Amino acid sequence: MDFLELAKNRYSERRFDPRSVEQEKLDRILEAGRVVPTACNYQPQRFYVLRSRDALEKLKRVTHFHYNVPLMILVCYDANTVWRNPGDRRYRDYNSGEQDASISATTMMYEAEELGVHSIWIRGFDSQTVSDVYGLPQNIVPVMMLGLGYPTDKSKAHAWHFMRMPIADMAAEL
């Protein structure tokens, strides 16, 4: 499938079938997140695969947006590994962690779609609660969760998915 077509057709799944995502597909999805460009190639992105009954049950303690996914990837970054820009006068504490983790998550989301696995990007959680519940080290910062699985026969894109601003409202030449 053409990438732009894939990007236009992909939507946030909210009705997941309980069947498992095959290990081979998960491996490809994780590989897609591994090979992305990161600032100075520092590669601070870290992935935690949540698929055991216990790990998925804990989701209910950290977010209301779990959608009973059969597989969740908690996407984080290692604060000890990020690139920092001390010369940025406007954003003095800038580091590349959230940006690098988001590039990884986006790439994994599109690889999943290519493999017929639906996804949902989740950021409705408190990072400290996630760290506490999953016992993450202090230097690991949760950025988002990527819910993965197969759609049910009732799955469909939300009507908002097809509402897009005109490109003229987003892009300008300077």
Closest to 73 (Cα-Cα) out of 50, 106, 101, 54: 50
Please state the domain count of the chain.
Answer: 1
Q: How confident is the model at residue 160 (pLDDT cuts 50, 70, 90)?
A: confident
In a domain, 96, yes or no: yes
In a domain, 174, yes or no: no
Of residues 61 and 159, the one with the higher pLDDT is 61
Mean per-residue pLDDT over the chain, rounded = 95
In a domain, 80, yes or no: yes
In a domain, 142, yes or no: yes
Tokens, residue 129: 């609660």
Q: What is the mean pLDDT of residues 118-143?
A: 98
Q: Which strand ranges, in their side-by-side order, compose the sheet holding 71-78? A: 45-50, 71-78, 140-149, 118-122
In a domain, 89, yes or no: yes
> For residue range 62-88, what is the model confidence (pLDDT) as tens digits?
999 999 999 999 999 999 999 998 888
Find the domain containing 65 and state its range: 3-169
In a domain, 82, yes or no: yes
pLDDT at 1 > cutoff 80: no
In a domain, 22, yes or no: yes
C-alpha to C-alpha distance for 141 and 157, rounded to whole angstroms? 30
For helices 53-62 and 127-134, give the axis angle rounded to 10 degrees: 150
Q: How confident is the model at residue 118 (pLDDT cuts 50, 70, 90)?
A: very high
Residue 60: in which H helix or E strand, if any?
A: helix 53-62
pTM score, two decimals?
Answer: 0.94
Question: What percent of the chain has a predicted confidence (pLDDT) above 90?
Answer: 89
In a domain, 144, yes or no: yes
CATH number at residue 103: 3.40.109.10
Q: What is the mean pLDDT of residues 17-21?
A: 95
C-alpha to C-alpha distance for 87 and 78, rounded to whole angstroms? 21
Predicted local confidence at residue 159, as pLDDT: 86
